[in-house]
Amino acid sequence: MTDAPMRDVVQRGLWFEEFEEGVRYLHRPGRTVTEADNVLFTTLTMNPQPLHLDAAWSSGQPFGQRLVNSLFTLSTLVGQSVGQLTQGTLVANLGFGEVAFPHPVFAGDTLYGESVVESKRESASRPGQGVVVLAHTARNQDGVVVATASRTMLVWMREAGERQAGVGGEASG
């Protein structure tokens, strides 16, 4: 050991300048979805859809079992990207473009997320911030695509973000 002063490292997302078009970020670890996740999310969001809640009824439907709520799948996919891409550096989500769920998710499936930077530009109306568009993809444990979404967000540029956060660049959120 040396007597050098200790250096602090705070986990954060990427500043606008650090996003590179065409780069794919793999979000790990995966998240295994439980029956409790599906029931809790579905009831918290006041969704009475029997496809998510009623095992007996769902057994007679095309997939033969309950489906995980697709908005849980989308929320998990976006959530998996936060620690790596936007933790403390996101100003706001501006919107979602096309969202698709090409394959069902069932309790017991494990979701793995990935994000590709599609484009970025400095904001014309908000100095110190930039607009980044991500293409999110979720795959199950077999590599099958279960969700895709385009997401447009407003992100801090480094200098403005560090100034906003105060000393040390510890942005909140």
Averaged pLDDT score across all residues of the chain: 94
In tens, the pLDDT along 83-124 reads 999 999 999 999 999 999 999 999 999 999 999 999 999 999
pLDDT at 38 over 50: yes
Residue keyed to tokens 């002063």: 5
In tens, the pLDDT along 123-140 reads 999 999 999 999 999 999
Hey, what amino acid is at 101? F
In tens, the pLDDT along 19-30 reads 999 999 999 999
Provide the percentage of residues in the chain whose pLDDT is more than 70.
95
Entry pTM: 0.89
The string of DSSP letters for 29-44 reads: EEEE--HHHHHHHHHH
Cα–Cα distance measured from residue 127 to residue 110, given in angstroms and rounded to the nearest whole number? 40
The structural domains of the chain, ordered by start, are 20-163 (3.10.129.10)
Which candidate, 76, 70, 75, places its Cα nearest to that of 31? 76
